[in-house]
Structure 1
Amino acid sequence: MRERLRRRRGGGLVDEPDYALVGVVRIPEHEKSPARAIGRRVAWALTALLVCSVVVYLDRDGYHDARDVPMSYIDALYYSAVTLSTTGYGDVTPITESARLVNIVFITPLRVLFLIVLIGTTLEVLTERSRQAIKIQSWRNRVRNHTIVIGYGTKGRTAIDAVIADGVKPAEIVVVDKDPNALESASAHGLVTVRGDATKSDVLRLAGVQHASAIVVAANRDDTAVLATLTAREINPRAKIVASINEAENTHLMRQSGADSVVVSSETAGRLLGIATITPSVVEVVEDLLSPEEGYAIAEREVEPSETGGSPAHTKDLVLGVVRDGKLYRVGDERVEEIEVGDRLLYVRQGGSV
């Protein structure tokens, strides 16, 4: 398995300059309204036109009109419009030194500003790559203790919804997938995305797996899940890795690869289907417990000082188990008849509460 893993590893992504990662790593941005963006540019263009017309009108004595009549404000506005748009019919021209100086100092910069506003969309496209490169560099320097989700299919999206419902910010979640459409959807939801094969160490390092606190493996294929888990565990021995597989026979492979928790999706769905034929209400309660937004939910918390020395059954919450030294003991186990300092309680809480 390790030999196969080594053959699948790519090279060079982590060492690539940030501008080369644009399109591989994507940092979400706040959506901008097209109408608002266009309106802002039109307002800037009109402002430049207004300022130019006022400057010309104030210095109207220094201009010559082909009609040989004194310049009005409309003439000044007309001259400003044809000048800023670089049309320049030549029927109104500066003839004095002061008017020409004003053209150099004020009119020419306004013309440049006017053109920039008009071609702002093109400039924005040209500068997008540089902006993304800067954001990628900043993100890579500060990303720590985040959650990585491998695979943005149904399982990955549902897992992210549950993590966010438990208080994790979308900006602290990184999605790794090869499907551009899936990554586009993830980015639209405010998630950082990395495009690539999650079984390759360079792709996971690019996602910051070496600094991650939790890794969710939600790949569609069991062999991909095993390889991704093995790669992630090799890079980060301390992260908590939870993985989903389709077949129960692959559970031991996931455990050997370094997964802390393994969920067998096919068996879990099968059990719920079987229970639903006899006691449908039980399925509703299970779904309720798995939906943190409403009803009840399963959560974990630290032991309060007043609970130390007491029984898990006598706490204010409905306790299902005690986590001691990283191992879960069910309520009723004689080893956790008394709560100790440092224990954590697995309990049922009201959905939506923290």
Structure 2
Amino acid sequence: MIHFPAQRRGPLSALSLRLLAALGLVFATVALVWLDRDGYRDVDDSGLSLLDCFYYVVVSLSTTGYGDITPVSPSARLINVLFITPARVLFLIILVGTTLEVLTEQYRTGRRLSRWRRTVKDHVIICGYGTKGRSAVSALLENGTDKSKIVVVERSGPALRQATSNGLVTIEGSATRSSVLEQAHVRTAKSVIIATDSDDASVLVALTVRQLTAGQVRIIAAVREAENAPLLKQSGAHHVIVSSATAGRLLGLSTSAPPLIDVVEDLLTPGQGMALAMRSAERSEVGRSPRELESLVIALVRRGKVVTLNDRAASVIETGDMLVHVRDDRPQATSAL
């Protein structure tokens, strides 16, 4: 099942407001009839009790009108003309409006789904919206990826609701199933990020994606244990990040070289100071050394491979190179480091 970000209040809230409005209209009309109850007569020519007032108002507002209770005094008839008849119309508008809103919402959702299916392409699929998945989405948004280009696949209800409330399109189901990935249009995706809670599930997702896309879609996966990284690469993952090993290295750095951990945290935390970024080499930079640039370049990406500055091949920037640099990520900053 595909869920789109909510653009308006939920149906339960809308129905509750309409129900309260209808009840308020009924009680207001009952109070008015009760105040002028002497101007009404029942079929047995007796006066109206409070229950009779409720009965008369309900059958009148619902346009049933049995005629067993009728207004006989001029004031009662005037109240019917000036208040009860408009209230009857308003009551019907509330009831019909609720039905129309439900039908309109279904139609709107169907239109959004059809339009999304026609236009979705070169998007990023996030398999799992836990801690790793949410962090991956944050990083994508910080690097300029539009929310409409991110699709979350998750089977947990709370995680789905959180992703939808954050403005993301979500697919309900397990990413290990090909039918779910087909709903996410995995064949036309730009990349798939696997951020599941278990390494076993990550391997199954990678195998399923590779089978559906014939290896044409880039797969990035995270695993807990380093021994499962080769298995994931054999399953089709292009990049594998070992979360436990990364955490262990950071713990070791915090003991042997505490300042380094602060630098790493600064680089990984958005809006704090420094951030890693990548951009295309400008025409004026081609032929120059990366060390001569104003930006703090730490590596080059040439024909899909990373070239460090210690490599002789990185002494000169070539056409088509991507520059990996450190930028100033503070909100008030206007220039890169």
What range describes the TM-score normalised by the shorter chain of this pair?
0.7 to 0.9
Indicate if the aligned counterparts of 1:144 and 1:212 stay in contact, CA closer than 8 A.
Answer: yes
For 1:241-268, what per-residue CA distance to the aligned partner results, in whole angstroms no more than 9, with x for missing partners?
Answer: 2110111111112222222221100000
The code of the aligned residue for 2:292 comes to: H
Distance, in Å, in 2 between the alignment partners of 1:112 and 1:206 is 45
Q: Paired residue for 2:323?
A: 345
For 1:118-152, what per-residue CA distance to the aligned partner results, in whole angstroms no more than 9, with x for missing partners?
Answer: 46446645665554333222211211111110011
Q: Paired residue for 1:186?
A: 163
Correspondence 1:303 to 2:303 = no
| CA drift at 1:240 | 2.5
Q: Paired residue for 1:240?
A: 218
Indicate if the aligned counterparts of 2:15 and 2:98 stay in contact, CA closer than 8 A.
Answer: no
Q: How does 1:117-196 map to 2 (within 5 A)?
A: 117-118=94-95, 120-121=97-98, 124-125=101-102, 128-196=105-173
Which of 164, 189, 201 is the aligned partner of 1:212?
189
Task: Pick which of 81-90 and 283-292 moved more.
Answer: 81-90
| CA drift at 1:154 | 0.7
The code of the aligned residue for 1:203 comes to: V
The code of the aligned residue for 1:290 comes to: L
Distance, in Å, in 2 between the alignment partners of 1:164 and 1:243 is 18
Q: Paired residue for 2:28?
A: none
Over 3 Å counting, the alpha-carbon distance change for 1:92 and 1:279 in structure 2 is: same
Over 3 Å counting, the alpha-carbon distance change for 1:85 and 1:292 in structure 2 is: same
Give the secondary-structure state (helix, strand or coil) at the position aligned to 1:140: helix
The code of the aligned residue for 1:189 comes to: N
Give the secondary-structure state (helix, strand or coil) at the position aligned to 1:117: helix
Over 3 Å counting, the alpha-carbon distance change for 1:111 and 1:139 in structure 2 is: farther
Correspondence 1:263 to 2:275 = no
Q: How does 1:1-354 map to 2 (within 5 A)?
A: 24-32=1-9, 83-86=60-63, 88=65, 91=70, 114-118=91-95, 120-121=97-98, 124-125=101-102, 128-236=105-213, 237-351=215-329
Distance, in Å, in 1 between the alignment partners of 2:281 and 2:2 is 40
Q: Paired residue for 2:51?
A: none
| CA drift at 1:281 | 2.2
Distance, in Å, in 2 between the alignment partners of 1:215 and 1:207 is 10
Structure 1: gaps of 5 or more residues: 1-23, 47-64, 68-78, 94-102
The alignment covers a number of residue pairs equal to 290
For 1:43-68, what per-residue CA distance to the aligned partner results, in whole angstroms no more than 9, with x for missing partners?
Answer: 9999xxxxxxxxxxxxxxxxxx989x
| CA drift at 1:315 | 1.4
Length-normalised TM-score, structure 2 = 0.75
Q: Which structure carries more relative contact order (alpha carbon 8 Å, separation 6+)?
A: 1
Over 3 Å counting, the alpha-carbon distance change for 1:113 and 1:137 in structure 2 is: farther
Over 3 Å counting, the alpha-carbon distance change for 1:149 and 1:128 in structure 2 is: same
Q: Paired residue for 1:72?
A: none
Distance, in Å, in 1 between the alignment partners of 2:146 and 2:23 is 39
Over 3 Å counting, the alpha-carbon distance change for 1:278 and 1:40 in structure 2 is: same
Task: Pick which of 318-327 and 162-171 moved more.
Answer: 162-171
Over 3 Å counting, the alpha-carbon distance change for 1:291 and 1:66 in structure 2 is: closer
Indicate if the aligned counterparts of 1:201 and 1:231 stay in contact, CA closer than 8 A.
Answer: yes
Q: Paired residue for 1:11?
A: none
Indicate if the aligned counterparts of 1:165 and 1:293 stay in contact, CA closer than 8 A.
Answer: no
Q: How high is the sequence identity, in percent, across the aligned residues?
A: 44
| CA drift at 1:238 | 3.0
Distance, in Å, in 1 between the alignment partners of 2:256 and 2:172 is 44
Give the secondary-structure state (helix, strand or coil) at the position aligned to 1:284: helix
| CA drift at 1:111 | 5.3
Indicate if the aligned counterparts of 2:151 and 2:169 stay in contact, CA closer than 8 A.
Answer: yes
Length-normalised TM-score, structure 1 = 0.71
| CA drift at 1:156 | 0.5
Over 3 Å counting, the alpha-carbon distance change for 1:179 and 1:268 in structure 2 is: same
Over 3 Å counting, the alpha-carbon distance change for 1:42 and 1:254 in structure 2 is: same
Q: Paired residue for 1:60?
A: none
